[in-house]
Structure 1
Amino acid sequence: MAAFNRGHVAPGATGPLAVLLKDESDSTIGGLWGSTLFGWLRIELLFVPEGQRGASLGSAIMQQAEALAIARGCIGASLDTYSFQAPGFYEKLGYSLVGVVANCPPGNSRYFMQKTFALAHDQ
């Protein structure tokens, strides 16, 4: 399957991508985990400890991950989040809604979002 998929897309940098949030003892306390594949960053997890939220750390982590993805040749990023998590946060960072699974989990929705990067040659 992997060979079939590679035959249909241009080669690009693939692999895991992480931006880690460390405490004063160099322990990982949060950050972003994802991967790049087929020219896109797939954000799988973003976590900022509750006591550190509201200090723009999440935005800084996202910006750093996007910069790393652009350096790998990515043209955009995608993620999913739930209605009770952070869709407004991602919208403020330029992500747009591309799909919704209603009542998942029951009483809430699952949102699929994407952002296309403004690359230097596009400006």
Structure 2
Amino acid sequence: MTTEFTLEICQKENIEKIIEGINEYNLSKVPATANIWEPLEFVVKDKNGSEIGGILAGIGYWKGLDIKVLWVNEKHRQKGIGTTLLKHVEKIAKEKGVKISMLDTFDFQAENFYLKNGYESVGEIKNFPKGHRRIYFSKNLIE
């Protein structure tokens, strides 16, 4: 069987084309209600200027807050840093008209943290990684 295509490792310019392609397709099905991606990324530093936490999130083109990473250094946990970061991006998102926040975490990471902060589990993958669960959460930001 002869193929009419090749399969290659992505280069930076290929990645941009792939993202552009999926965005074009998605937006042909459901029009955007916001910019393609508006980053909401913040870092927390201690008094010495060292990074002790941060959040990488953003608002997508259908006005959803997508939280990619929320991290707090183990020595600084249980001090309200994670909650402060989470509430900060939620507040900004709400001010911009965002109605829903979404994220995923693992059972060994922050499952209880998100439950305490009003998130609800909307699905999970069992035994991934082995012996654990990957949990998907969402939260309505505007009641």
> Which letter does structure 2 place at the counterpart of 1:21?
V
**Offset of residue 4 of structure 1:** 2.6
> Which letter does structure 2 place at the counterpart of 1:78?
M
TM-score of the pair, normalised by structure 1: 0.88
Indicate which of 27, 30, 45 corresponds to 2:53: 30
Change (3 A) 1:72 1:27: farther
> Which letter does structure 2 place at the counterpart of 1:114?
S
CA distance in 2, matches of 1:117, 1:51: 30
> Which letter does structure 1 place at the counterpart of 2:44?
L
CA distance in 2, matches of 1:111, 1:90: 10
**Offset of residue 110 of structure 1:** 0.4
Alignment of 1:1-123 (within 5 A): 1-7=22-28, 8-13=30-35, 14-37=37-60, 38-118=62-142, 122=143
1:19 and 1:64 in contact (8 A); partners too: no
For this pair of structures, how many residues does the alignment match?
119
**Offset of residue 30 of structure 1:** 1.5
* Corresponding residue SS for 1:90: helix
Q: Deviations over 1:85-123 (max 9, x none)?
A: 1111100100000001000001101000000112xxx5x
* Corresponding residue SS for 1:65: helix
Percent identity between matched residues is 32
**Stretches of 4+ aligned residues off by more than 2 angstroms:** 25-29
* Corresponding residue SS for 2:97: coil
**Offset of residue 71 of structure 1:** 2.3
Structure 2's unaligned 5+ residue stretches are 1-21
CA distance in 1, matches of 2:78, 2:68: 21
Look at both structures and tell me which one has the larger radius of gyration over its CA atoms: 2
TM-score of the pair, normalised by structure 2: 0.76
CA distance in 2, matches of 1:82, 1:110: 4
Larger fraction in strand: 1
CA distance in 1, matches of 2:33, 2:50: 35
